[in-house]
Structure formats: C-alpha cells, structure tokens
Structure 1
Amino acid sequence: MPQPLQPFLHDLVSQVAAPTQTWSTPDGQVVPRDDDAAGVTGLLHGDVRLLSGIEVSVDDDPGVPVAHHGRPDGSVVFTSLLRGLDAAYADSGDPRVRLDRTRTVVPGRLTEELVLGSTLDVDVEVRVAVRLTPDATPMELVRVGAPRVAVTPAEDAGHGWTSAGIDVTIAAPGAGWTVADGRVTLSWTLTVPRRSSVAVRWTADVVDPAPVVVAAPPDLTHDRVLLGPEEDQRLGPWLERSVADLAGLTMALPDSPGDVFYAAGAPWYFTLFGRDSLWAARLSLPLGLDVARGTLRTLARLQGRADDPRTGEQPGKIPHELRRNGFQLGGMSLPPLYYGTVDATPLWICLLHDAWRAGLPDDDVIALLPNVEAALDWLTAQTAPDARGGSVEGFVRYVSAGSDGLANQGWKDSDDAVRFADGTYAEGAIALCEVQGYAYEAAVSGAALLDGFDRPGGDELRGWAQGLQERFRASFWCETGSGEDDYPALALDGTGRRVDALTSNIGHLLGTGLLNLEEEWRVARRVGSPALDSGLGLRTMSTDDAAYAPLSYHCGSVWPHDTAIVVDGLTRAGLAEAADGLVEGLLAASVAFDQRLPELWSGEGAPVPYPAACRPQAWSAAAAVVVARRAGVFGGV
C-alpha cells in the first residue's frame, strides 16, 4: 500500500473565519476521493473536518467551471456554465444558463447560495442537488493524507449529525433530504423563469460543546487602512487583503473570549502558537493593541508552572502550541499543550515591552509583571551550567526532545533545519544565533519594564545581557579571512563548533542590540547578497551551502515573515536603505501570489509555490504591515 502523503494546498480556494475554515478546488466543488483519503478540502472547525464532500449539480451535471472571485465581505462566487441546458433549449452556441454559487463562511457557519440564471426564452424545470459527505477526521490525520473518518447520519436523526463531539445542523429551506451510502443529499425541483433567475440556499451550523478555541468577539475588527496616491500601488491591495486575513485568523480561548490572538495559519496551524502568534502580534502592532494584549494574556495564563519532561513544561516557560487532540506527524507525537520552543519566552517579553512603549496601559502591564519575572527567571537560567549543556553553556540552548517531540525548537523546527555548510547535521545541545539576539533584547527590555514599575533586578539583567553579548562575540563569528565578510554562525552545536551555514537567521539579530554597528553592517551585507536575496524575498539558506534546496521547508525556501523581521531589524538598526531590495522582493511576491502571501515559497527567484504551505498565514499577512510601516503609512517608522 502506498504511503499517505500530505495534501497540497497551492491551487485550492480557502475561506477562513476562525475557528471555521473551508477549502475547495477552484470550481467550488469538494469531492471525496475514491480511496477515502479526502485531502484537506471540506468544512473544518476547531481542528476537525466536518464535511469532506460538498458537491453541487443541476440535473446531475456539475457544470463547466469558468471563474471564481472573492467579494469584499469575504464570500467567494464560483461560476459554472450549464451547457447541457444550453444544448437542449438554445440554437446558438452562446452560454445561456449559468450557476453562481456564493459561499460565505463566518465562525461556526457555512452558507451557500445557488443562483440559476437564464437568458433562454423559455422556462426550464431542473433538479438542483447538494451532496454532503459527513466527516470526523482530526487535523493530524488530514495533514498526513490518512484515510478519512466517516460519519453516517441516521435517516431519522433530523437534519444533522455529530462529528467527533461537534454538532452539525443542516438547514435547506424547501429541499428534500435523503441519506444513502454515508452521504446526505439535499434536492430541490425548481423552475428557472425565462430571462430571469431562481435561488436556493443551504447552511451548515456548527456547535462545539467543548471547544479548545473560539471565535473572537464580533465587535472586534481591524480598522481599514487607507493609503495615499503617493504610495506604491502594489502596497494598498496587499495590505488590505492581509488585514482581512488577520481578522479571519483572530480567535480566543473559551475561558477568556475577550483576549484575542492570531491563529498561526490555515489549515495546519489553526490554533494558538506561542512563537507564531507572538511574532504576528508584534509585526502588526501598528494596527492596534488589542491582539498584542490578548496574546500576552492568553500565553501568560498557560505559562509553565512545573517541570514536565513529557510536555516540555518548565516554570516560567511560554508554550509552543495548543491543540484539541495533540498532534502526530511521522514518528513525532505532541501533547495537546506543548512547550517545546526555545524562543517563545524571550519573544513574549519583547512583545510586552513593545506594546508598553506603543501605549499599552500601565494597569495591563502591571498585571503581567509576575509573568515577566517568571519568564526572565526561566531565560537567565538557560545559560547556567547543567548536565546537558555541554560546550554551549553560557548560551540559551535546547536539546532534541527525542522521538516524541520536535528535534529543533527554534522557528526553523524541521528535523533537517540546522546544518553545517557541508550539509552535515548539527547534534547535541543547540544554541541558535537568533535566540541569543532575542534573549539579549528580552533581558534589556525586561530590565526596562522592571525599572519602569519600580521592581528590582534591572541592573542584574543588564549585566547578564552584557555577558551574553561578550560570549556571542567571542564564539559565534565565522571567520572568512576578511573581517568585513565574517558572519554569525547559524548555531553552536553540542561540542561548541560553529554551524557555519549562511542562513537568514542572522538577520534576526539586527535591531536586537546584541551586535554593534560594524557587526550589523556585516550582517546587512550578507542578507542583501545574491546568495540570500532571491529577488522575491530572503532565502532561509544561501545558495552556496551544500544543503540548499529551493523547495525545502527551511533550507533555501523563502518565508515572508522571515524577510519582514529582517526588514524591521534593518530599520531599527538605522540601516533602512539596506532593506530596499528585500522590500521590493516582498512587493513583487504580493503581486505574484494575488496579494495573499503564503507561509513560504521556493527560493529559486520565481513565484513557484511550496505546495503544502498554509495560506493565509498570520505572520505572512503581518509582513504587509511591516512594509507599510516602513513606507510611513502608520505615521513613520
């Protein structure tokens, strides 16, 4: 039997209204495959697929798809021509009968309106059918292309069913309802008037009695951002679409529905992720403080309290992700609440500091100061000697969690992400370069927070940060024979060796304060070099490295959030002009990808998609805010 494969997404149409999402082919159809591995298409809610088939036909004809387009309200219209009816009733070859299928997704509800329009000179009687395939497949099985979990509604159960504990109710005014072969068919017998139209509608309502995540409050919206005529004309449509996508990815936890955050991305990461949600909130701060406040509070409530090797929890540590059922991929098995990240904790401190400087009220900050102190205690403890630290004592590091958890725990968390220039894998305790930058900035920012609210410990934190800076300068720089071409290593491995691949990670050091001006110039030259700048964004690994592969997940692809972080870092470092090429690359990519930047794409310099990339992805959407801020849209940089 062939091995199941992760479904591709690049040519699908998605609609996202957290915690609900739909995916279909461009004709609007969702057709289960004969082998029961239904891909990702269908209606999903809260990490469970509820429908793996949504098939529309007119007199058993699905029609010939000709177009689909999105509307400002987020709905999508799929247009098909009914050529069988044309042939039966018209003499000319012109299209005379069409089906416009408008799909609208809001949290907990999918609605489709089916409009049959005719320019024939006669009335036409037709049978319209919608065939639904109930499903209960959890996301961890959907992602790996495993066989779907079928649900068979009972004939007498009313118009609904329960999928994995989630209740689904179907409303279809005027329709008949039949159940056969595990599928539900809704049908209408209609007369399409001459030179007129007729419409029917059906709705799927979803109620999750025990949700892990819930919709954001309906009155929480992102303000519309208007650009002047002097701005780059590519920026306006990209920013508008990105802001809408961020709104669609906004969700909360059931116990604190007012504290909103961004889900990492659809479909695979449609939930709270520490690192992803923090970066998305930080990059999009110019849009307002609500999401930053909600993200900080939500993660603070989940902050580690005890030591648990199974989940990776430690006192003061900020979690990595929250799931309904945990997550399994290959040999990896993660618990529902998982803490396997080395960078979420310093990034939490940095976001709080940035939000405070941006105007977060003092009362909100004061309420989080105990969490700040716990996070700082965790952070500073990471550089202390321990049995696993080996030769990277003195740096913030992680050790592979073994077969059950993530092998790598920075933002490049795939198994093959940390490689030497010759392609060999780094082993042992790993100290990533960018994490040292985050840690330095978090310590200095944490000291400023403590000073600002008359808490002790600021001087000790600044001393700790200075020590980290000195150790970094002595240990991380890869020497090339020409001082100005030296660059920071991707990481140190368990023996203290520099992992000398040239990667985008070094760009995350910019603006953190860890580097001096000369060192920042060296990094700026490297991230702007042809080996890293693809022309459509920053490559994750340079073309000079042995492991470079343009369609790898972390070894040569382009991630727009990664590019945006480097653009923002160059700006904060006072090197804004050095970011011009990267900004142009993101603007060009926004056009190539129809204003919705995916999670990642190929590093070859052409708009070749990574087929399984999430789209929309929160931190990808937030990249537009970074570019707009640099352009002065939000009142300067």
Structure 2
Amino acid sequence: MPDRNLQPLLHDLISTVRAPASVLCEPSGQIRAVGVQGMFHADVRVLSRAELSLDGRSVVPVANSPIGVGATAFVGLARWLGDPGPDPTVRVTRTRRLVPEGLDETITVTSTAAEPVSTVVSLAVDADLAPISPVKAGKTAAVDVRRSGLTWSAGDLSVAVTASADATVHDDTVSWAVTVAPHTSVAVSWQLRVTDPAALVRAPAAKAEWSRPTVTADDRRIERLVARSLDDLESLRLSLSTGPGDTFLGAGVPWYLTLFGRDSLWAARMLLPLGTEIAEGTLRVLAAHQGTAVDRDTGEAPGKILHELRRADTHASLPAAYFGSVDSTLLWISLLHDAWRWGLPAATVESLIPALEAALGWLGTYSDADGDGFLEYIDETGRGLANQGWKDSGDSIRFRTGQIATAPIALVEVQGYAYEAALHGAALLDAFDRPGAARWRDYAEAMAARFRDKFWVDGPTGSYPALALDRDKRPVDALTSNIGHLLGTGLLTAKETAQVADLLAAPAMSGGFGLRTMSTQDAAFSPLSYHCGSVWAHDTAIVIDRLARSGHAAAATTLADGLLAAAESFDYQLPELFGGDDRDALGRPVPYPAACRPQAWAAAAGVTLLHAATGLRPDVPAGTVSVTPLADAPLGAVTARGFRVGDASVDVTVAADGTASVSGLPATLRLEPAAH
C-alpha cells in the first residue's frame, strides 16, 4: 500500500503563541524537523529546527509551563553532569518568548553540584520557509531557500538567527562553552528575527480590547478556566497588515491563525460580557471585505461576509479571499445587534448600517438559490468546501443510517441564524430610521412556519429538528448538536425548546465531557470523528448559554459539568475538540490528535460559561439590564468583578442559593426585577 500524506498530529505538542507567530515543539522544548514542529509567522514556517544539546546529548525533560502570553519555560536535567548519586544537580531551563518581530530564547544552566561544572551548550537551527498549506497536508514544500550563515531567505521573506556575544557559529550550529560554579547559574541567549513585507497579518499595537474580570467561585475550575482562556485569547489577537488596524481574533493554532468569518465572529460574540471593542474591530474588518460581486470560484456574492482570508502564496486549495460560508453573514448581523445591546456606541453602529443593509440584501437575494425559503449551499467548483456550515468536513452531514447527504444542503442551525438575523436586522433598521424592518419581521414569521413544516422528524426518543434538508428536500434525520443552536433564536416554541433541551441533556448526547456533535444512537457516530461524535468546546458552550437563557438550567448544568471536567483534564486550555467517549470510559477525555490549541472560540467558551452562570443580560439602547443566573446556582456561588456594559465596569454576584446582585450599573440603566 503506498504511503499516504497525513495531516500532522498536534495533541502532544506544546504551543507558544503570540499572533501572528506560533511555536510548536516537543514537551522538552526541542524543535525537530518533523511534522508540524517549528515556528510559524503569518502562515510561513520560519524556524523548522532548534535542537538543544549539552556535550552533544539531549537533556532529560521534566516540566514545561506557560509563563505569560507568548512565553513558555521548559525544564530539563543534564543527569551526566554534576555530583554522582540519585539526585540531579544540573538543571537546564529554556525560556522562550515570542516578540512582535520574532523570538527570544534564554538557556539557563543551573548547578547545585559541589564542584564547578563545564559543558558545551549547542543549538542546531534551520528554516525551511514552508507555507503552512503543504505542512498541514503532510507534504514536503518545494521552497527555493537561500542560506547565508544563519540567515535564510526566499523572495522578500528573510529570517536571521543571532546569538549572545560569547557564542561560536559553525555551519548551522551555535555553541557556548560555559562553566557553572557551585550553586550558581549561567545564561546564554539567541534570537530570531523575521522580515516579511508580504505578511497579511500582524500583531496589534494596542493592549487587549477586553476587560479581565476577577472571578471567585465555589467551583475553582471556573476561575482557572477563565484565567487561562483570557491568556490564550490575548495571544490570538491580530490586525491586518494594511488598513486602519482593526483588531480581531485569529481562529486557532497552527492552521488558522488568520481572519476567519465564522470563528472570529463567534469568538467576539462570546466575549461581549467583557466589552464591545473586539466585536467592533471584527465587524469593521469583515465589512471592509464584504462581497460586492458574484464570483463562482470564490463563492463571493454582494453583501456576503467572507469565510477566510489568507496570503495568496500559502494556501494551495482555496482562493486567498474565500466566501464559502453559509452562516458568516448572518452571524455578522447578530454580532452587530448584540454588541449594540451591550453598549457599542450608537455612532459606531450607525457607521456599519450600510454593511448591515448589504448583508440583509444577501439574505434576501442570494442565500436561497432554489427559492424554497431556506438557506442552502453547494460548492460548484469542486475545489471549495463541500460543507459550508460550522461542521465543514466533507462527511459531516449524514442521515441516521450513516448515509452522507447530497448537496445542496439546508442546515438546521442556519435557518435559526437566519430567523434571528432577520429580527436583529429589523431592530437595527428601526432604531436607526432605515426602511425595511417590516419585510424582515415578515421573513422571520414565514421562516418559522416553513421550518416547523419541513424540518421536524420523529426518532426513537421523540421528535426533533433534522440536521438538514438534502438536495431532494428530504430531512437528514441524524440527531446532532446543531439543533442546540436554535435555542434562544425565537424560532422554536416553548414546548419545542423543552423537547430539544431534553434530548440534548440525555446520555446519548451529553454522556461525554460536554455535548456530543452526534448522538451515540446514530450509525455514523464515532467518538473521534471530527464532526460526528466528538465534543467541541465552543459548540457545548454556545448551547449551555442558550439553554440557560431558555430556562433549562438542569440541561445546561449537565453540559457545563462535563466541559469543566474536560478543562481540568487539559490544564484549563480547552482544545478545539476532543473525543466523545463516555465519561466513565477512561475518567478523562481522549484528545482529538489533530485539534488546534489554543483556538479562539474554544478559549472563549470559558467566558461563555462564566456568563451563563451569572446571567447578566443588558439592553443598553432600551436602558435596561436583567440578571438571570442558572436557577439554584448548580455550579455554586460565583462572583465576576469587571464585566463591561457600555463604558461601565459591572460586578455580578450569585450566592449559593441562586440569588443575584449587581453593582456598578450606570444611572442610565434600570435593573429589571428577576422573573419568577
């Protein structure tokens, strides 16, 4: 059997991230010329090897830990050096820091030996300047790299490695001869600098756009998850290299550290309790790239929000600006609406109303190719994404029997997003004295009727909305997490919401560490399938929030407890996804070996979990705020100090008995009494 090119695995690698750069290495800190290891900068691998040795031998790894945004420390032992006996006396620490222009690393040799220790510290380095696309495909990149000493270049891109003054350089290796006196340390250092005028993205100049709340909770896992999540989110901040410098979140490391419509929008929406600034930047940068023409090759259409934006020479399969997303435009509309409710200034909202009207124009003109009243997609080029919702793998849309559905596909959650976007758009048009609101309210009403008629199916555990409609308008009857995204949109009645909540909380969907993407009772279920049985952190968090908003605290709590247990297992850095095995199978989730980590909407899940527990829900334009925490405080008492509502810093406390109190609200906002 011929060898296959396989995507490199990630789950056992350590990442250090400060966008647009990321380093992936072994737990020892070693960067070897295998798989996806290396340092990537704006979708190019600018360092493919950095192997450390003492006296030609590798140190024994014992620990690694993040030490702030964009920094990691690796601790190893040189067991052949120092005093004889069982206790190690020579320790080696690599402190790696990403900086806007590259990487700095310090290597510290510490000795507690009785006598001085002499050794030669060596670092072998290389740079293959490979674009990320062939690396992801498991292929060797054919890049014409020019090397001069410790400088590598290809086209206008160049990478230079320098070292502290006491170093010697031979071929590709930097060496330092050091002697460490008893109970002292000696440090040497090296640096990598990147010059890349063609880079699409860069590090933002300003500090993080959101508040960093102080969290205290009976369940300490919430505190730890939020803290780690905010560090990860800060490391993923990006701006485009051209333009006004609006900040957004890159989707994830290593493959998606660029602008992604759906991912960047969801992450910004999940961060609204911490401020509206990242939402504003995301809305602006996507509006600046909104579609203006019909283009079959890129999927562009007037008013459509793009799927992803890449530098042209690093992405082999898709166009640099690709619009193959059926939901990004709808999510853009709803982010604008929700940010307005959280206090995005009216002048800012008004400046984006033309983009809103264009987005609604796409919804009304281009989203429904066959005129049946539902939004569907199909890739007509054979080169784009076969599926264009958030479950975008080629085999994700399946019947209960396991059969793959045939496009065009009308996804269940997309109809809910469209219903919600129509009402959100109508509210904004009315508020800013623009015509057309009645049309979109009528659209939503008609969508609800059509949806109820066509999407609901009967299964072994009751009736529920199908995953999709296929080419022949047959309901694709798998039971999936997608239906959880309908909650809170208004598309479902209270009775229908309760039916969906009960199904999502049942063991077939919630028996893992969060919400499974597909029921264990469906033929295609596989715990390590990308979209047919795994658990995705953001998917679980979104559904938790929507269950909480809909008053289904028990179902929300079941999923929240699973997600917190997963977070604990992953050192509170939630990966993109993980296995959907039963919780009692191993007692901890099985990693999905190719999952991105950190990833923007997975990190934002920690904030969403905190928000669901506290239930702060403002409507700044209406002058009201409500607080509806999870009933009876099933996650225990929790306090969040430093939520943002408009310009105000707001504190929310939920006591162990479930009663809530709020402080810091401005006088312009009225706290509504809690519903009973």
With the shorter chain as reference, the TM-score category is over 0.9
Aligned counterpart, 1:264: 251
Give distance in 2, aligned partners of 1:206 and 1:339.
30
Using a 3 Å threshold, how does the CA distance of structure 1 residues 175 and 132 change in structure 2: closer, same or farther? farther
Q: Quote the Cα distance in structure 2 between the aligned partners of 1:325 and 1:56.
A: 34
**In the TM superposition, what is the alpha-carbon distance from 1:122 to its structure 2 partner?**
2.4
User: Does the residue aligned with 2:119 lie in a helix, a strand or coil?
Assistant: strand
Structure 1 residue corresponding to 2:213, chosen from 206, 210, 225: 225
Q: Deviations over 1:249-282 (max 9, x none)?
A: 0101122353111101000111110001100110
Q: 1:9 corresponds to which letter in structure 2? A: L
Q: Does 1:529 align with 2:506?
A: yes
> Quick one: which amino acid aligns to residue 23 of structure 1?
L
- Distance 1:402-1:420 versus aligned 2 partners, 3 A rule: farther
Equivalent residue for 1:599?
576
Question: Which ranges in structure 2 are unaligned for 5 or more consecutive residues?
Answer: 583-587, 615-639, 644-650, 653-659, 661-676
- 1:340 matched residue in structure 2: 324
Match of 2:152 in 1: 161
Q: Is the 8 A contact 1:382 1:395 kept in 2?
A: no
Q: Secondary structure of the residue that 2:186 maps to in structure 1?
A: strand
Instruction: Give the whole-Å Cα distance in 1 for the aligned partners of 2:339 and 2:141.
Output: 43
Deviation at 1:128, TM superposition (A): 1.2
The residue number in structure 2 matching 1:21 is 22
The 1:179/1:138 distance shift into structure 2, 3 A limit, reads farther
The aligned residue for residue 52 of structure 1 is 48
What does residue 142 of structure 1 align with?
A: 135
Give me the CA root mean square deviation.
Answer: 1.9
Please tell me whether the aligned partners of residues 17 and 69 of structure 2 are also in contact (alpha carbons under 8 angstroms): no
CA contact (8 A) 2:6 2:137 kept: yes
What is the one-letter code of the residue matched to 1:85? Answer: L
**Residue 459 of structure 1 aligns to a residue in which SS?**
helix
Q: In structure 1, which of residues 620, 623, 637 is the aligned counterpart of residue 602 of structure 2?
A: 620
User: 1:311/1:327 Cα in 2 relative to 1: closer, same or farther (>3 Å)?
Assistant: farther
Contact 2:330–2:418 (CA under 8 A) maintained in structure 1: yes
Aligned pairs (5 A) from 1:558-577: 558-577=535-554
Equivalent position to 2:377, from 367, 389, 398: 398
In the alignment, the residues of structure 2 paired with residue 222 and residue 429 of structure 1 have an alpha-carbon distance, to the nearest angstrom, of 40
The structure-2 alpha-carbon separation of the partners of 1:234 and 1:409, relative to structure 1 and needing over 3 Å to count, comes to same
Q: Provide the C-alpha distance between the structure 2 equivalents of 1:135 and 1:179, rounded to a whole number of angstroms.
A: 19
Identity fraction in percent: 50
- Say if 2:131 and 2:314, in contact at 8 Å, map to a contact too: no
Where do 1:530-545 residues align within 5 Å? 530-545=507-522
Tell me if the contact between 2:527 and 2:534 (Cα under 8 Å) persists in the aligned partners: yes
1:474 aligns with 2:453: yes
Residue in structure 2 matching 1:431, options 400, 410, 424: 410
Corresponding letter in the other structure for 2:65: H
After TM superposition, the structure 1 = structure 2 runs for residues 576-595 of structure 1, keeping only pairs within 5 Å, are 576-595=553-572
In 1, distance between residues paired with 2:609 and 2:310? 32
Deviations 1:356-395 (A, max 9, x none): 01000111111111110000010122465x4xx2xx7210
2:6 match: 5
Please say which of residues 431-440 and 133-142 is displaced more in the overlay: 133-142
Query: Counterpart of 1:347 in 2: which secondary structure?
Result: helix
Spell out, residue by residue over 1:54-113, the C-alpha distance to the aligned partner (whole angstroms, 9 max, x if none). Answer: 011111111111222222455222111112223xxx343321112111111233321111
| One-letter amino acid of the structure 1 residue matched with residue 564 of structure 2 | L
Q: Deviations over 1:388-446 (max 9, x none)?
A: x2xx7210111233420000110001110110000111113111010000000000000
Letter in 2 for 1:396: L
Deviations 1:270-315 (A, max 9, x none): 1110001100110111121111000000000000000110100000
Q: Deviations over 1:186-243 (max 9, x none)?
A: 1112222232111111111222212211111243354332112x44111111100001
- The equivalent position to 1:209 in structure 2, one of 188, 197, 211, is 197
Q: CA shift at 1:150, angstroms?
A: 6.2
CA distance in 1, matches of 2:244, 2:122: 38
Match of 2:74 among 59, 75, 78: 78
The alignment partner of 1:256 has SS state of coil
1:163, CA displacement in angstroms? Answer: 4.4
CA contact (8 A) 1:175 1:186 kept: no
Change (3 A) 1:194 1:240: same
Distance 1:119 1:240, change over 3 A: same
The answer as to 2:163 corresponding to 1:172 is: yes
SS at match of 1:334: coil
Runs (5+) with no aligned partner, structure 1: 33-37
- 1:112-127 to structure 2, matched below 5 A, reads 112-127=105-120
For structure 1, which segment, 208-217 or 312-321, has the greater mean C-alpha deviation from structure 2 after superposition?
208-217
Residue of structure 2 aligned with 1:549, choices 519, 522, 526: 526
Match of 1:314 in 2: 301
Q: 1:287 maps to which residue?
A: 274
**Aligned length in residues:** 613
For 1:394 and 1:257, locate their aligned partners in 2 and report how far apart those are by CA, in whole Å: 38
Q: Secondary structure of 1:294's partner? A: helix
- Per the TM alignment, residue 477 of structure 1 is displaced from its structure 2 partner at its CA by 0.3
Match of 1:325 in 2: 312
Aligned runs of 1:237-248 on 2, under 5 Å?
237-248=224-235
**Structure 2: how far apart are the matches of 1:630 and 1:595?**
18
Instruction: Give the structure 2 partner of residue 99 of structure 1.
Output: 92
For residue 337 of structure 1, report the CA deviation from its aligned partner.
0.5
Q: Which TM-score applies when normalising by structure 2? A: 0.88
SS at match of 2:246: strand
SS at match of 1:99: strand
Q: Which residue identity lines up with residue 201 of structure 2 in the other structure? A: V
Determine helix, strand or coil for the equivalent of 1:30.
coil
C-alpha spacing 1:609/1:326, structure 2 compared with 1 (3 Å): farther
Distance 1:73 1:506 in 2: 36
Counterpart residue number, 1:35: none
2:398 maps to which of 419, 425, 437: 419
2 CA distance for matches of 1:202 and 1:222?
Answer: 33
1:321-377 deviation digits (Å, cap 9, x = unpaired): 011136768xxx211100000000000000000000100011111111111000001
Contact 2:147 2:153 in 1 (8 A): no
Amino acid at match of 2:305: I
Secondary structure, counterpart of 1:525 in structure 2: helix
One-letter code aligned to 1:552: S
**Structure 1 pair 326–473 and aligned structure 2 pair: CA distance change class (3 A):** farther
Work out the CA distance in 2 between the residues paired with 1:418 and 1:565: 20
> Contact 1:45 / 1:108 at 8 angstroms: preserved in 2?
no
Q: Secondary structure at the match of 2:509?
A: coil
Identify the range of structure 1 (567-576 vs 134-143) with the bigger mean alpha-carbon deviation.
Answer: 567-576
Q: Secondary structure at the match of 2:194?
A: strand
Distance in 1 between residues matched to 2:559 and 2:481, nearest whole Å? 12
| Separation of aligned partners in 2, 1:596 and 1:252 | 23
Within 1, Cα distance between the matches of 2:403 and 2:469? 13
Query: For residues 346 and 595 of structure 2, what CA distance do their matches in structure 1 show?
Result: 39
The verdict on how the C-alpha distance between 1:631 and 1:450 changes in structure 2, with shifts beyond 3 A counting, is same
CA contact (8 A) 2:478 2:518 kept: yes
